[in-house]
Chains A and B, each alone.
Chain A
Amino acid sequence: MLNFDWLSGISQETAKLIFFSLYLLIGVLVLLLPDEYVYEGIPKENRHWWNNLKLWSWTVLAILAVVYYQF
């Protein structure tokens, strides 16, 4: 049990899909954050799309997904 042998029936391909699902879930949760919270610390008049940390997060998650797709 401690060795997770009860999960040995799951193939490596399925396991990879589990990781992709996790990235997607995180991406969705990030999208649900209010913009006000994401920009907190920047005055309203100085807020631009490139300061949007949701965009940063999605970019990083996309790169991560590409790496796992490649290997």
Chain B
Amino acid sequence: MLAGIDYFIVIAYIVGMLLLGLYFKKFVNNSEDYFLGGKSLPFWAIGMSIVVSDIGALDFVGVSGQAYRYGVAVGNFDWVGSVPAMLLAAFIFIPYFWRGGMYTIPEYLGRRYNKSVRTIASATWILFFALDLGVLFWASAVLLNVLMGWPIWISILSTAGVVGLYTYFGGITAVIMTDVVQMIIMFIGGFALVFLSLDAVGGWENLVEKVNTMGPEYRSHFDIIQPVDTTSPFPWTGILFGLTFVMANAYMIGNQSIVQRCLTAKNEWHAKASMIFGSALKMFIPILVLFPGLMAVVVHPDLADGDQALPMMIKSILPPGLVGLMFAAFFAGLMSSVDSLLNSTATLFTKDIYEPFIKKDGDDKHYLKVGRITTLVLLIIGVATAPISSDFPGIYVAIQTFMSYFQGPLFAILILGIFWKRTTQWGGLSALVIGIGFAIFLNVFKTEFFTIEDPFLYISWWSFLLGFIINVVVSLMTKKHTALELEGLVFSARILTKSKT
């Protein structure tokens, strides 16, 4: 339970975030301000926002739980699972999207392929984000329940109220600037927990020695590279093929909530720099989210559920005051993820669904209004779907499972779309539909095909490969696009040598 000073810190944080977010309401005058921050933001704010949106509450609870069960191998997601993909995004994809003045990734797919590809990709992201919202709300409830004894629904509704208010009024500028403060608080709270936990277990060397002597299931807890025949979800082949080559790229290049931030940059250098700066900050994330889980192996060795590792560490290690700060850090992670999803989904719906299909010739104020109403509707959906998350054994794995359905096929059409001019609309559409279907098939029958515990990394790789092959084959059999149709949409060495295409 929290002490008086902890309550003060938490409440001051929540009120501060609300006021800061609402301050940016005055900068929102049109839909570009609401969805792209008027293209005026600096790299450091965007980079910090990318990181804090990505880490979120899921990582605090879920990754600690995974580290408790499987060790440092889960750190691959923030290390090799981020840096190569973010560099590729920074130097190849982001400049194309930024120069093209795009709002959404499906918008690029629509220009490169056709309207159907755009709609399927957008609808899939909207579905994923809506489910993701529910998972995030549930993650908050788990921590609040352990720490403060709050009923599940009270915690879900209070989170939705605060985040919803500033996202509704301030748009992406409010989202990014509150993210900056949230990231600083997360880092302070996270590092405080790591240092005190490390002290509690007698230092790093003592931790390694104790964990290694706890039994055979802990012997590989400090091996970042796991063998192919491991039963954990992280064999090195899955990390290399599924994570590094597919999921990481799909996430950093094809994820609306990540890329949309870069599109708010004031110029192309800031857009590129935001991704690279973000990748540098991402290096520290495993220290904050993974190490507490590892240390919980020593401090609380008999936890039935790994997701309880972090809450139990906070409860047993941190003194009054720091508990409140850590809770504020957790809340920061949660809020930043929720506000990102709300704004990005509102952008996807308004730009890819509402504008092309429902009202083509509305004025700008109308689309601003639609974006805000969508934000409200999403909040309601997120709150209503939160209990579904309790049916999954690990919160983090649950979200990866949702993503693995379409990350592979989506990346296949993105990479071929930008690098191969022969790719056609029918190739892209077939790859997306069949690839997603194949990923769902593999997931449904995963016990028949795979030997590891949760094969989402393998599913993403094989569905990517099938999507890639189908895209190539169908494209070669169908009519190619004209040079005029592809102008500014396919990678050319000219982009590297000419300042603007």
Contacts and interface: CB of A to CB of B under 8 A. Distances in A.
Contacts of B283: 60, 63-64, 67
A28 interface: no
Interface in B453-501: 455, 458, 462, 495-497, 499
A57 B276 contact: yes
A53 B276 contact: yes
A45 interface: no
Given A15-B225, A22-B244, A4 B458 contact: yes
B222 interface: yes
Contacts, number: 117
B209 interface: no
A36 B493 CA distance: 13
Nearest to B287: A67
Interface string A40-59: 11100000000101001101
A56 B277 contact: yes
A13 to B, nearest CB: 8
A63 B495 CA distance: 29
B272 A7 contact: no
> In this complex, which of A3, A18, A39 has the most chain B Cβ atoms within 10 angstroms of its Cβ?
A3
Interface in B433-453: 449-452
B306 interface: no
Chain B interface size range: 35 or more
Contacts of B95: 40
> In this complex, which of A5, A23, A36, A40 has the most chain B Cβ atoms within 10 angstroms of its Cβ?
A40
Interface string A3-33: 1110110101001101100110010001001
Given A2-B450, A40-B95, A53 B90 contact: yes
A37 B495 contact: yes
B69 interface: no
Interface of B: 72, 75, 79-80, 83-84, 87, 90-91, 95, 222-229, 235-238, 240-241, 244, 267-273, 276-277, 279-280, 283, 449-452, 455, 458, 462, 495-497, 499
Interface of A: 2-5, 7-8, 10, 12, 15-16, 18-19, 22-23, 26, 30, 33-34, 36-42, 51, 53, 56-57, 59-61, 63-64, 67-68, 71
